């Protein structure tokens, strides 16, 4: 009986925000004059860049106390609130900055970033557009508006914005990477790879660009190149669990199951809750005929994600290989309950029912699998048609 196992490839294409929040004013370093609002604003920026957001907020607040019309200090405090995840406070501060100075492009840009983080993409696009209107050379504004369009699935608009950002700043590695993500989403993988390579040329330690390039290479069936790119991402960032995970999938596709298992194990070591890694390591063990280990991994994947239809389907297959047809049928049924469009689960349940002699259940599952586009094995169909009592 032919195996039908669905391996999950998580296509985590990573878009990066250009210089994310933009601090809108700095002052000279030196002695902090307690009456100098600009000095507090500057020190707040320094604290924020060090990740000390509470101290930054306190300094921006002092700058505002000294100068209630200090639009830049409001926007900078909004940045710090946004980095703490306090989005409503961030929006309030950026809005106050805009009220004080309606031509402060950075405040619109920063508020757009917050709206994007909240998933309010239309508002983000509106703010980025205003920032660009005020500063037509605002490369970060184009880049981040492209990200918002990308999130909305408007890939052509996203590509146009990334292209404009690159035109303004030719060494804008993030814009190349992000345009590559948009090209990948459109299925234009060669263009995507070219953009990722450009990003890497500009920044040879750009982990996300290597990772994304690996995904595009995998989709094209260039497994060796994908493995190389994931390997480079891992070399730069040894704690990148997704890179190990996807490299494991590429190794498995090449039949290098031991290397795949090692990579899935590393991904699990980095994230013990990584359900997909357990499921795919189970697939690799299955391919090696180590069924008990496969069942253990599929069971762990199910424990971590009880809605993982593929893990149930895969465990059902291995149980059927071991002759436990009742439990395998239960797993296929659970997979179908979770995902009624999982065609392989219908096929697999039909095979298990056939082996058990429960012929009245077989044809319904076969027809359902076929209706979902599954190519049922011709030998199985022949057996069904020829054996007495099984025709329908």
Q: How far apart are the first and last CA of the chain?
A: 22
By the 10 Å C-beta count (0-12 exposed, 13-18 middle, 19+ buried), 367 is classed as middle
- Closest C-alpha to 131, from 99, 106, 160: 106
CA dist., res. 337 & res. 51, Å (int): 46
Quote the pLDDT of residue 7: 29
Measure the CA–CA gap between 45 and 130, rounded to whole angstroms: 24
Q: What is the DSSP letter of 8?
A: -
For 286, the token pair is 């299955």
pLDDT value of residue 291? 98
C-alpha Rg value of the chain to the nearest Å: 27
Q: How far apart are CA 84 and CA 70, in angstroms?
A: 22
CA distance to 310, 327, 337, 340, 377, per residue, from 354 (Å): 22, 15, 20, 21, 14
304-325 residue pLDDT tens: 999 999 999 999 999 999 999 9
Superfamily of domain 274-392: Tetratricopeptide repeat domain (1.25.40.10)
Determine whether 322 is exposed, middle or buried from the number of CB atoms within 10 Å of its CB (0-12, 13-18, 19+): middle
Band (18; pLDDT cuts 50, 70, 90): low
Query: What DSSP character marks residue 358?
Result: -
232 touches 247 (CB < 8 A): no
The DSSP secondary-structure symbol of 99 reads: H
| Residues of the chain above pLDDT 90, percent | 87
> pTM for the full model?
0.87
Out of 1-5, 33-37, 53-57, the most confident range is 53-57
CA–chain centroid gap for 172, Å, is: 22
d(CA 84, CA 88): 11
């Amino acid at each position: 009986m032919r195996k039908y196992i669905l391996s999950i490839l998580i296509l985590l294409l990573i878009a990066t925000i250009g210089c994310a929040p933009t601090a809108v004013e700095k002052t000279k370093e030196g002695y902090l004059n307690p009456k100098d609002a600009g000095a507090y604003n500057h020190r707040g920026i320094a604290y924020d860049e060090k990740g000390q957001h509470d101290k930054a907020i306190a300094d921006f607040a002092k700058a505002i106390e000294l100068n209630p019309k200090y639009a830049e200090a409001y926007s900078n405090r909004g940045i710090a609130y946004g980095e703490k995840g306090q989005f409503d406070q961030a929006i309030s501060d950026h809005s106050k900055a805009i009220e004080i100075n309606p031509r402060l492009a950075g405040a619109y840009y920063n508020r757009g970033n917050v709206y994007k983080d909240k998933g309010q993409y239309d508002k983000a696009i509106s703010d980025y557009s205003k920032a660009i209107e005020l500063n037509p050379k605002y490369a970060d504004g184009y880049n981040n508006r492209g990200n918002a369009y990308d999130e909305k699935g408007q890939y052509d608009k996203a590509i146009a914005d990334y292209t404009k950002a690159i035109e303004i700043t030719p060494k804008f590695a993030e814009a190349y990477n992000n345009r590559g993500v948009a090209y990948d989403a459109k299925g234009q993988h060669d263009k995507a790879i070219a953009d990722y390579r450009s990003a890497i040329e500009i920044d040879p330690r750009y982990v996300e660009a290597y990772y994304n390039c690996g995904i595009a290479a995998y989709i094209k069936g260039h497994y060796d190149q994908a493995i190389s790119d994931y390997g480079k991402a891992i070399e730069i960032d040894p704690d990148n669990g997704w890179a190990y995970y996807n490299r494991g999938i590429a190794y498995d596709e090449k039949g290098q199951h031991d290397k795949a298992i090692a990579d899935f194990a590393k991904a699990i070591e980095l994230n013990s809750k990584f359900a997909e890694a357990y499921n795919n390591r189970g697939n690799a063990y299955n391919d090696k005929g180590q069924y008990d280990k496969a069942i253990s991994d599929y069971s762990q994947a199910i424990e971590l994600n009880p809605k993982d239809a593929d893990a149930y389907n895969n465990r059902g297959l291995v149980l059927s290989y071991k002759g436990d047809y009742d439990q395998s049928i239960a797993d296929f049924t659970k997979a179908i309950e979770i995902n009624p469009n999982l065609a392989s689960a219908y096929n697999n349940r039909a095979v298990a029912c056939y082996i058990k002699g429960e012929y009245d259940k077989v044809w319904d599952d076969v027809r359902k699998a076929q209706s979902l586009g599954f190519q049922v094995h011709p030998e199985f169909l022949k057996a069904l048609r020829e054996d007495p009592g099984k025709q329908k």
